[in-house]
Amino acid sequence: MDTALQERLHLALLAQRRAFQAERMPTYEVRRDRLQRLLAMTRQHGQALAAAMAQDFGHRARQESLLADIFTVEAGTRHALRHLRRWMKPRRVATPLHFLPGRNLLMRQPLGVVGVVSPWNYPYYLAMEPAVAALAAGNRVLIKPSELTPATSELMARLVGERFSPEEMQVITGDAEVGKAFTELPFDHLFFTGSTAVGRHVAQAAARNLTPVTLELGGKSPAIIDRSCDLQLTASRLAFGKLFNAGQTCVAPDYLLVPRELVEPLAQQILAEMRRMYPRIAGNADYTSIATPRHHARLQGLLADAAARGARVLRSHEEQPADRRLVPALLLDVPPEATVMQEEIFGPLLPVIAYEHVDQALAHVNRGDRPLALYWFGQDGAARDHVMRQTHAGGVTINDCLWHLGQEDQPFGGVGASGMGSYHGEWGFRTFSKEKPMFIQSRFAGTKLFQPPYGATFERLLGLLKKVI
């Protein structure tokens, strides 16, 4: 490994660690100031960031960038500012009768220096949303954004450098080698968003330093359609959830599980909704490109492999765009061995799997890794509750897609192969804090009665405790 690179990264970490040691418990005013600077940066430069993302993708719908990257960071920061004082306050915790008049407190302290590794698909949001939580909790932050979005990464580095000292928050750009070296630093906490395969390597690198990690990964997130669903409403919301950011979303519906008799009518309704939202694909400013040539070729390969194995391919449009805008397609009668059923799709392809009884659908979901998201569509509350009890997922939206991701009062995170740990709102504050329990003893405590020399008094008191606990 390049020793100059190693030294540069270690010096950045050392500078933040020294700054933290000089200010181990930043005041409410200091934390609020940092959050307000991040909020002002986001508001002032939202349009420039959206333009940079469009440049990186080849084309990205400006409205998608403003909603998914800029607004979400604004909303998360404003939420943190509203609740910061309460989050910071030490909390009274119940004290058992036999320890009274002592009392318990829970104190939240910042961990120190937090490393954030962010991906390319939502390059500003997935860098800054963890940073909001880490700054609110009183930490210093180093960010390594994706090398696949260089314009956005360089702009973030410049904007953060203008608003924050390097000892507060810094963006470190570079290629995959920089990213690998970054994950090997001895952070106090490492936050990674990306693929499950890369997440395993990140966890291994962090483990060598005993660095705790939060892994926000992905997987094949299913949408289960119940016979009680509103077909048109379901189709509209599935089309939106799948095609937002051209399907390049970690919680996009990856495949549908549909009652056999509804497969054809639902598929036709989804295609109609896709055409309504996007009357054309080529040159449509509302429709986002696939981010890189490699990802575009991978998706075309998934489509060709499925078709070669006998899947029916239903394209939403009869177009062949010259750029990386990929025409959406539904895949019916897909054999389970098709690659599209083995890998996370991360694009505008949507397999539709038929089932006779819902337990067949549940068995299909439960045979695979636990997904980051699960969606259910229907009006039958008992059927919904059955599905919720019999499946595991990082998060769920009922009768829609994606929107559980935007709930600041709920934790967001994966389970199993889709990740570990959670953030958003107070959950993020807790992720980047050490919750330190404190027991404050009273001068009138009776614990002296348990000191040696032991004798009959000890035995009587121990017997009494067993009766009162």
Question: Catalytic annotation on 250?
Answer: yes
User: Among the options 64, 184, 250, 426, which is catalytic?
Assistant: 250
Q: Are 353 and 334 in contact (CB under 8 A)?
A: yes
Q: How many CB atoms lie within 10 A of CB 65?
A: 27
Rounded CA separation 53/36 (Å) = 23
**Structure tokens that stand for 272 in this block:** 């109609």
311-to-120, 277, 314, 332, 341 alpha-carbon distances in Å: 30, 25, 10, 6, 11
Q: Is the dihedral of CA 81, 82, 85, 90 positive or negative?
A: negative
Q: What does the DSSP assignment read for 224-275?
A: EEPTTS-HHHHHHHHHHHHHGGGG--TTS--EEEEEGGGHHHHHHHHHHHHH
User: Among the options 216, 273, 344, 426, which is catalytic?
Assistant: 216
Give residue 330's Cα distance to chain centre: 26
For the chain, what's the residue count?
A: 469
Rounded CA separation 413/424 (Å) = 9
Rounded CA separation 109/89 (Å) = 10
Which amino acid, residue 24? R
Query: Which residues are part of the catalytic machinery?
Result: 216, 250
